[in-house]
């Protein structure tokens, strides 16, 4: 029985988890680095302990320090949130060895899905469409050259242990192949300690579609519909919405059914996300990767289905059955999320840490704010720059867009630069409103989105 959970994270996701635990009457233990002593998650938790210095490697990524606190505090489970140790199979395994429940899938499943070429192979074996490419990691430059020639340029080189937009390089011609391969392998080794790379055909114009799944230990698997996460800058998501309104219901059903099939095939337990590329040229979808954790954008799925995904994660980890069947899941209306970063869009989105002199949140019917900041809070420069997420729900996409516009325009964050002006321009853009965009939209329109021109 889970009665006490250590939250192995910081910021808005730590706050989100703690609030879910409070609703379930579960005691919480927060961890923090030296510079996060006054963070909101440490204030809201029942207990809070310093886990190391300001650097992630010495605090939020330090296995033994975190587990020492978990053992001393006699916690029943650890919730890793997203990022940091959420997809680290070694950390999950250490929790298992210490009889602490890791709130997520088993360590062997994390490992299997975390190695991207292995995940591709698994999906292919189960009839899930994958992007044409290498069957395994590339062993030499000569092999890479042969594979690239076979599938045709452009291609994309991907680190098997990659994530967060790192370890990826697009190659348009053969003359650039060897140099790009060296660069990706070097980045992958530095970022992930694994320089193995595989090759895929590069789909030039696509939508990024993902399916939220839930699975318990009793082999019950359901999906919560799809999210469109196409709007990105440098492979970092900016705006997410659910449902996807530019795909037919038949296409969405096919993708969702494939996701459920894949989830069952690997014996998955917990909340997870199957991510697809939807090729706008050929109207085909392909498996991209599986995220074995809660996603930043899980909120939009919650808003359209009424299912609390964090609570479901905890219940599944507590050996309970899913509280919903597939027929219970009804997508209502439209939800949109905007990620708010402490960055200066007019200075190439450079980080803008510092003291938040004033923070006035948006409010209103169907408006939700997930954040870890407050007035007079000091944003440290050592972590991801996302400081809040605004989520709105409307009867349809047009109403949701209008609500998000008002939410962004009525927010006050003084003391630091944020991406709110940039997001206002994006939400006001006519092509966005018409749902006429692909993966290149932000990069092609970046000057208009940063400037005062609202693109209307």
Tell me which residues are annotated as active site.
Answer: 293
Token code pair at residue 178: 């060897």
Token code pair at residue 399: 């109403």
Residues in the chain: 456
- Cα–Cα distance measured from residue 160 to residue 179, given in angstroms and rounded to the nearest whole number: 18
CB-side exposure of 43: number of CA atoms within 13 Å? 10
Please report which helix (H) or strand (E) contains residue 391, including its range.
strand 386-394
If DSSP states are collapsed to H, E and C, what string results for the chain?
A: CCCEEEECCCHHHHHHHHHHHHHCCCEEEEEEEHHHCCCHHHHHCCEEEEEECCCHHHCCCCHHHHHHHHHHCCCCEEECCCCCCCCCHHHHHHHHHCCCEECCCCHHHHHHHHCHHHHHHHHHHCCCCECCECCCCCCCHHHHHHHHHHHCCCEEEEEEEEECCEEEEEECCHHHHHHHHHHHHHHHHHHHCCCCEEEEECCCCEEEEEEEEEECCCCCEEEEEEEECCCEECCEECEEEECCCCCCHHHHHHHHHHHHHHHHHCCCCEEEEEEEEEECCCCEEEEEEEECCCCCCHHHHHHHHCCCHHHHHHHHHCCCCCCCCHHHCCCCCEEEEEEEECEEHHHCCEECCEECCEEECCCCCCEEEEECCCCCCEECCCCCCEEEEEEEEECCHHHHHHHHHHHHHCCEEECCCCCHHHHHHHHHCHHHHCCCCCCCHHHHCHHHHHCCCCCC
List beta partners, residue 4.
27
Place of tokens 């949140």: 361
Place of tokens 């950390």: 91
């Amino acid at each position: 029985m889970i009665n006490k959970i250590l939250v192995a994270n910081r910021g808005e996701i730590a706050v989100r988890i703690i609030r879910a635990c409070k609703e379930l009457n579960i005691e919480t233990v927060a961890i923090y680095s030296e510079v996060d002593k006054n963070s909101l998650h440490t204030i809201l938790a029942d207990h809070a302990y310093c886990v190391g210095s300001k650097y992630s490697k010495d605090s939020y990524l330090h296995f033994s320090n975190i587990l020492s606190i978990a053992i001393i505090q006699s916690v029943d489970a650890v919730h890793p949130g997203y990022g940091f140790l959420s997809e680290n199979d070694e950390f999950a395994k250490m929790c298992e060895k210490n009889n602490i429940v890791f709130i997520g899938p088993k360590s062997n499943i994390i490992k299997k899905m975390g190695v991207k070429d292995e995940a591709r192979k698994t999906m292919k074996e189960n009839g899930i469409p994958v992007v044409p490419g290498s069957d395994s990691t590339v062993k030499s430059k000569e092999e890479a050259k042969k594979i690239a020639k076979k599938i045709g340029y452009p291609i994309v080189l991907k680190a098997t242990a990659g994530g967060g937009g790192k370890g990826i390089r697009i190659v348009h011609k053969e003359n650039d192949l060897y140099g790009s391969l060296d660069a990706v392998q070097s980045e992958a080794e530095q970022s992930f300690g694994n320089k193995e790379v595989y090759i895929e055909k590069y789909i030039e114009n696509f939508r990024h579609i993902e399916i939220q799944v839930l699975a318990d230990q009793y082999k019950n698997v359901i999906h919560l519909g799809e999210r469109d996460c196409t709007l990105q800058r440098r492979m970092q998501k900016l705006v997410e919405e659910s449902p996807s309104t530019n795909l037919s219901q038949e296409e969405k059903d096919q993708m969702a059914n494939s996701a459920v099939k894949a989830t069952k095939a690997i014996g998955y337990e917990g909340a997870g996300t199957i991510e697809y590329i939807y090729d706008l040229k050929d109207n085909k979808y392909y498996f991209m990767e599986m995220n074995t954790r809660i996603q930043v954008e899980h909120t939009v799925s919650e808003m359209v289905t009424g299912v609390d995904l964090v609570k479901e994660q905890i219940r599944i980890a507590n050996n309970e059955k899913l509280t919903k069947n597939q027929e219970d899941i009804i997508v209502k209306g439209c939800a949109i999320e905007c990620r708010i970063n402490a960055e200066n869009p007019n200075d190439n989105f450079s980080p803008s840490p510092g003291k938040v002199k004033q923070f006035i949140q948006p409010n209103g019917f169907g408006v939700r704010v997930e954040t870890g900041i407050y007035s007079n809070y000091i944003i440290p420069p050592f972590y991801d720059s996302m400081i809040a997420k605004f989520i709105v729900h409307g009867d349809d996409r047009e109403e949701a867009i209008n609500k998000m516009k008002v939410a962004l325009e009525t927010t006050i964050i003084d003391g630091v630069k944020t991406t709110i002006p940039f997001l206002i321009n994006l939400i006001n853009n006519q092509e966005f409103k018409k749902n006429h965009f692909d993966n290149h939209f932000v990069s092609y329109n970046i000057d208009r989105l940063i400037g005062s021109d609202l693109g209307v």
